[in-house]
Structures are given as C-alpha cells and as structure tokens.
Structure 1
C-alpha cells in the first residue's frame, strides 16, 4: 500500500494512492499514529479509504514528509561503493571494521521535510544532495535479532540528506559531527510504501529497484538498492543493541554509489557536477517509492555568536573554577 501525506489548508491529511487519485484516510493528519497503532490498523485504515474514502487528484498535491516529526532519525553508511570512494579520496584503504559495524549518526528530526523548497545550509557555499532509501520502524524493541528487526519495518521512503559540505568539513575536523553541516533539512517521501508493495523485487540485502537523481533535469546518480551491503534488518538490529527503537523511527541507508555531488565531482569531472545553488531542482527517485522533488532556496542569514573582537575575552563577572575539575 502506498500512503501520502499532503497539505490541506493550514492542516494536513493522509491518503492512499490509487492510480492518479488519492483516497483520503478519515481522521489522521500524520502517519505516525497509524504506524504506532500497528500494521493491522495501518492496513485496515488504508483498505477502508480505498473502498469509500473521498478522492483528490494526485497531481494537484505536493507531498509532505509522511511523518511530520519522526521520534528519531538515524542515518547509516551502508553502500560500499560510496564508502570506498570517500576513503580513496583521503588516501585510505577500507577499514575492516566497516564490514563488522553498520555505523550511523543521529540526524535532526525537526528538520524533516517533504517535496518543496529546501534552504541552503547557513554559512555554506557547497550544498550537496545525498540519494538514500529510508526504512520506517513499525514496532519497536530492544536487542532485536536481525530477523525480528526485518519484520519491524513498516514501510519505505526516498530520503535526501542535504549536506553543507564546507560547514561539515570544518566541524568534523574537530572530531565531532556532522552537526550543522547536516541538520538544516532532510527530505523524506514522497510516499510511505509498505513492504508488500515491493516484495517481488527482493534481491540480496535490498531490492532490485533503481535509484536515480537529477539536477535541473540532468542525470547525476544511478544505482541499485540491491547494491547495499548492510540490510535494514541488520541496521535496525544494530541500532537496538542495548537501546530502544520505537515506531516511527527513520533509518536512512546512507548515500548510494554515485549518490552525491562530492563523490561524482571527485570521481569524474568536477565541472560537470557543480555544487547546488538556489534555484536548482533536485529530483531523488527510487523505483516503486516515487520521486522526491525539491528546489534549493537561499539560506537563512548566519547570526554571529559573538560581537566582533569578543572571541576569547574573559568576562570578569563570571566565577572561575580553581580546583582543576573538568566534566
């Protein structure tokens, strides 16, 4: 089943895609309550909408993120081609631990958006897209097995992890990050697709479905979801190790091979793959999951943290620790 969330005046609605129509699910304005209610309730709500829900034309809608504010967003690093290329630019071999640990970072759930405008990262001149697939957790748990975690997936979406590369690079030199390089926007959508919709394409650790991205109509990225090294079952099981995953948690795959400007510009011709600028239209797409369309807009202005000349100055009014204690 393919769900969509869309704006309806000042509020939003949830519907089920039925060809060129959307059949409205009565009641919820967000998919999260339906996901939290469980798979049976989610599918029952969809079937009811398909039988007797009011209809709106699909082309008239601008899809929002299926979940307005996910409980958490974890972004992994699961496509070997992208990881290998990134390490090669830095003169590094693949770290054997990458094949043992499906590492991730926590991204910003408040920055999740759907189709529509996406602002530049404040202070960045090198904005990049990252073409990914996301799984949404349907039922939570702790210390899940891979099999349990695989069954915990409620649905899939296209994910675009927008990255201010120059800001990210500066921050990560300080041994933390990505921090502000990543948390201005994460696009999710355009649909929430339940696993049964794509079950016939299962292959390896993913699905034999094409992943593509274009910028202003020019093809940039092309990969297969089935190229992924770590399955979502493995990623979710790792996320749940000694911790809890909950319904609605978003699990990003990390960038697929050729799935960002950074990789393309360093692997091929940098002039052919320039950094994104305001006005650029970026379309991230995965077969069966839809096309996530965004237009880059200007960044919010950077608000200074200190007045000029204030950096490093002591405030004599502040008490000072003198016992050498640190936290």
Structure 2
C-alpha cells in the first residue's frame, strides 16, 4: 500500500491513498483525514485503506491524478524523529579523514540523534539556508512505527514497522563541529528534513525487504547528474528493528514515530574508483566525497551546496518508482 499527504490548510495535510504506479490517488476522509490519524488507529484503518488501494490499482472507483508537487512529507510533523547512523562506512570515513579511530562500541551500540519534528519540509520544497553554514544533503531510508512498548524486543520492534520512506536529512556542516564540541549533540546544524512524497508498506518491496533492511539502490542526483547509487541493504550494521529497539530500551514510542537509517554508504575503493563516473556507487552526501578527497589529496575540493543547487533522491524496483521523487533546491535565506 502507498500513502501520501497533500498540502492543505491543516497542519498535518490530507491523507491520500496512491496507486502502485503513482498515477492516481483518492482522499479517504471516511477512513482517516490524516496519516497520523490512520497510524493512531491502524488496526481498524488498515483493511479499509487496503481496499481503496486495491480499487485504485484495478482502475475502479473514484480517483484523481496523483500530483507529487502537491505533496507534503507523508507526516508533515511527527511526534518523534530519531535518526541513526547504521552505515559505519560513513562513520569510518569521517573519523579517518581527521585521523581518528572508530571506537569499538560503535559496532554494537548504534549512534542516534533526536531531530526536530515539529515541522518538516515537503519533498519538492526549497532548502532555505545560508550557504556559509555548509549546506549538505543526506540521502537515507526511514521507517514509521506503530506504538512500541518500553523494553520491546528486536522482533517486536520489527513487527511495529508500518511504513517506509526516503529522507533528505539536511545538514549544515559548518555548524556541526562547534555543536559537537559542546558535548550536547546536533541542534542548529540539523534544520528541517524532507521525506519522499509517498510512504509504502514493507510488503510493496517483496523480497527486497528482508532482515528489516531495504535491499535496493538509493539513487541520488546533484544538479541532475548521477551522484550516488549505493545499495541500502548492503553494509548496514544495524537494521531497522535494531534501531527501533535501541530507542525502546529506555522509552516507549508513539504511533507515527520516524526512525532514520543515517546516510546510506557502501564500502568501496579509493576516491578515483568510488564515484559513479569511475565505476563506483558514489555517495549519498557531499561530506563523504569530501572525506575521500581529504584522505587522498590532503584537502576537500568539492564545495557544499550553493544557492540554486538541487538534490534529487529516489528508489526504483524493476523500473518502477517506489516512493516518488525528492527534489530540494537551495534558496536564499
């Protein structure tokens, strides 16, 4: 099943069920006005939503064209947005670029921060920020959970996963060092994130959803040029069930909690073999390319995003667009 939220005068948007091919949709106010409402009452809403989804795919019943540019993030705001760092290749590169080792604990205790979730930007909205802050994109996968009890097992956390999305976790790299030096984590350096137009149930992935990982390439374009296509199921040290369980160790999760994978990153060769142009799988953020440059040449050469730059993020399966397209362009503050 595929779900989206159209922008409206309501803060939480208007829920739409979307056809598998992303061509048609239907509002379902008699089932739920918003995605959050559906998540709050998932057990009673799910079957009715699936019936509408079946009708859309069969071309029966009322429908309207699905317009991705009309979408907000599936949850325009959320009770919780927690982002992990499940791809330790990314962490290793960061550390190596500054001559530091990765602590052994990182390999069995996930890194995670709690981001701002009172307001996200839409999948095709502008990133409004000052380029002096070092604007970067981070392409990721995320899950939306149902209610999760305190102390839930990994298996229980896996069963709580309701939906999957793609993410552009915007980062302001120039602000990060001073914030981390305070020992209190990210804040100003993590502005509003954007999520894919569509959230999908895991069964839409078929065999590509296994071990609570998405085993498909995550496609990234920078200014309409290929930038990255690493496989999101490869080199993922902690799967989504484990990431959710990490949170549940000390707290409950409310329905509609979003948990991100962190920047998708695959192990590969050196700078000259890691880019798509040179046969590699490329990168899901500018910082990773800059890390390779620093390691190999002594300094970063690629600039962060400037006004007018645009990032595109998508995922396909057998040629079909799964989540719709994230397109965020940097705009002057």
- Which TM bucket (shorter chain)? 0.7 to 0.9
Within 2, Cα distance between the matches of 1:145 and 1:122?
42
Alpha-carbon distance change, 298 to 142 in structure 1, aligned in 2, over 3 angstroms: same
Structure 1 residues 67 and 276: CA distance shift in structure 2, 3 A: same
Matched, 1:292 2:319: no
- State the 4+ residue runs in structure 1 displaced beyond 6 angstroms: none
Rate the CA distance shift 1:120–1:56 in 2: closer, same or farther, 3 A: same
- Which one has a larger percent strand, Structure 1 or Structure 2? 1
Q: Which residue of 1 aligns with 2:279?
A: none
Instruction: Report what 1:281 is aligned to.
Output: 310
TM-score (norm 2): 0.82
Contact preservation (8 Å) 1:25, 1:49: no
Residue among 79, 100, 109 paired with 1:71: 79
Cα gap change, 1:34 to 1:89, in 2 (>3 Å): same
SS in 1 for 2:183: coil
Corresponding residue SS for 1:14: strand
| Aligned twin of 2:119 | 111
Deviation at 1:40, TM superposition (A): 4.8
In the other structure, the counterpart of 1:14 is 15
CA distance in 1, matches of 2:327, 2:229: 16
Preserved CA contact (<8 Å) 1:161 1:186: yes
CA positional deviation for 1:60: 6.2
Taking only aligned residues, the RMSD between alpha carbons, in angstroms, comes to 2.2
For structure 1, the residue ranges without an aligned partner over 5 or more in a row are: 300-327
For residues 246-270 of structure 1, what are the alpha-carbon distances to aligned partners after superposition, in whole Å with 9 as ceiling and x for unaligned?
1100001111112210111221485
1 CA distance for matches of 2:126 and 2:178? 22
Match of 1:305 in 2: none
The number of residue pairs the alignment matches comes to 297
Distance in 2 of aligned mates of 1:65 and 1:205: 22
Task: Tell me how far 1:88 sits from its aligned partner.
Answer: 0.7
Match of 2:297 in 1: none
TM-score of the superposed pair, with normalisation by structure 1: 0.84
* Aligned-partner SS, 1:244: coil
| 1:198 CA displacement | 0.9
Pairing 1:200–2:231 present: no
CA–CA separation in structure 1 for the residues paired with 2:28 and 2:287 = 41
Query: 2:172 and 2:68 mapped to 1: Cα distance?
Result: 31
